[in-house]
Amino acid sequence: MKRVKLCSVILMILIIITIGTLFMIRKKCTELKDLAGQTLILYENKNTEEALKKAEELNQTWDKHYKFFHCSVKNDKLYNINSEIAKIKPLIENNDDQVISELNSLIYELDFLSNNETPHIYNII
Amino acid sequence: MVIVFIRAIILYSMIIFAVRLMGKKQLGQLQPSELVITILVSNIATLPIEDTSLPMLMGIIPILVLVCLDVIMSGATLKWHKLRRIVSGSPKIIIKDGKIDQNQMRILRFTIDDIMESLHSYNIFDISEVQFAVVETTGQISVYQKFRYQNVTNEQMDFNKSEQDPPYVVIDDGVIINDSLDCLGINEEWVKKIIKEKGLEVKEVFLLTVSPDRKYKIIEKDKTLS
């Protein structure tokens, strides 16, 4: 019965870890999506300087969260996000409108990542 | 490559822990649920080793979840008989009074070769010698022979001798085993004395067994092998 109790405790810890990780992923994705959204609005309003600051903030936030994502999500899901975030700053600096599609694509990727980790019937089955 | 190496070591330790957690039963005959776990765990463990894009947690979490569920399930089956029936099934009688239950054989998908093979392991070559054969939940066949074919026991022959433990290994490859000394109620001096009588030292003894009535057998180390 000692083993059963030990396993029950481990299972509870695993449940807490997995649910905790899910919430962390969603929270971090929302944070990154908000930053990408704000950068997009600022760029569309021709506020390049502020957009650059937001892009820098987005970069730093991504760098901060990257290790967490690396440990909890299949890495190939992160490659696209990584390359899109790296492109944003130079595109804003060059006033290249391609940044709009890159930011939209980044928001979509983050949304996709967050949704993919959330258990739904379709991704469980 | 280094990542794969480290992952292999971590997952190896994980599986050892998982198997230890499941207990000794896992290492012997497998119940259906344990077989499933064994197959799944071995399969899941290889994934993060091969694919470095998969986080280690993707291997560790499912292994721990499967093992914990299995242990909890086995704990629950101890309490609830019906659950045990569902998870492990129940033993089935396949031979009764020398007659094979063909319907049961068909249900269990056992061939006559499977049954004969099991009977041969009990040194039985004629089904009519079998009083009773049961297919256990592990898939093993247990056989009870008819009385007239059973070996005569000491009790039936009325041989009376006091019960005695088998001989203990006291020296294993030149090393005295203290647990055996405790069980036999002897000390190192007694062991050294009997070895000295043979003109040997402890380190020269390959095997020494001593029975509870102090009978002993010494096998000397083969000096040509050292």
Give me the mean pLDDT over the A34-42 stretch: 92
Q: Considering only the beta carbons, identify the residue of B53, B57, B75 that sits closest to A76.
A: B53
Predicted confidence band at A116 (pLDDT cuts at 50, 70, 90)? confident
Q: ipTM value of the model?
A: 0.77
Cβ contacts of A10 within 8 Å, gap of 6 or more: B64, B68
**A97 within 8 A of A23, measured Cβ to Cβ:** no
Maximum mean pLDDT: which of B33-37, B67-71, B97-101: B97-101
Determine what percent of chain B is predicted with pLDDT higher than 90.
31
Residue environment code for B132-152, b if the CB has 16+ CB neighbours within 10 A, otherwise e? ebbbebbbebebebeeeeeee
The mean pLDDT value for B54-65 works out to 84
Q: What is the three-class DSSP state of A97?
A: coil
Measured distance CA(B212)–CA(A61) in Å, rounded: 74
Task: Tell me the pLDDT of chain A averaged across its residues.
Answer: 88
In this predicted structure, the answer to whether residue B5 has a pLDDT above a threshold of 50 is yes
Best mutation site among A2, A5, A7, A82 for testing chain B: the one with the most B CBs within 10 Å? A7
The whole-number pLDDT of residue B26 equals: 45
pLDDT band at B169 (very low <50, low <70, confident <90, very high): very high
Q: Tell me how far apart the alpha carbons of residues B39 and A31 are, in angstroms, rounded to a whole number.
A: 41
Nearest CA to CA, how far is A4 from chain B (Å)?
Answer: 5
Chains A and B form CB pairs within 8 A to the count of: 49
Question: Phi, psi at residue B221, to the nearest 5°?
Answer: -70, 140
- Asked if B57 lies within 8 A of A71 by C-beta distance, the reply is yes
- Residue pair A14/B61 in contact by the 8 Å Cβ criterion: yes
Nearest Cα of chain B lies from the Cα of A105 at a distance, in angstroms, of 22
- Chain A segment 52-111 residues within 8 A of B by beta carbon are 70-76
Give the pTM.
0.66
Place of tokens 């074919």: B149
User: Which residue of chain B is at minimal alpha-carbon distance from A16?
Assistant: B61
pLDDT(A92) > 50: yes
pLDDT value at A9 more than 80: yes
CB B69, CB A11: distance < 8 Å? yes
CA distance A6 to B219: 46
Q: How far is A70 from chain B (nearest CA, A)?
A: 7
Closest CA to B48 of B62, B38, B34: B62
Say yes or no to pLDDT of B3 above 70. Answer: no
CA B135 vs CA B95, B103, B118, B129: distances in Å: 9, 14, 10, 17
What is the C-alpha separation between B226 and B69, in angstroms, rounded? 50
Calculate mean pLDDT across residues B148-153: 89
**In this predicted structure, what is the pLDDT of residue B25?**
47
Q: pLDDT band at residue A31, thresholds of 50, 70 and 90?
A: very high
Q: How high is the pLDDT of residue B20?
A: 65
Percent of chain B predicted with pLDDT > 70: 88
pLDDT at B167: 93
**Using one digit for the tens of pLDDT, what is the confidence trace for B9-28?**
676 667 767 766 765 544 45
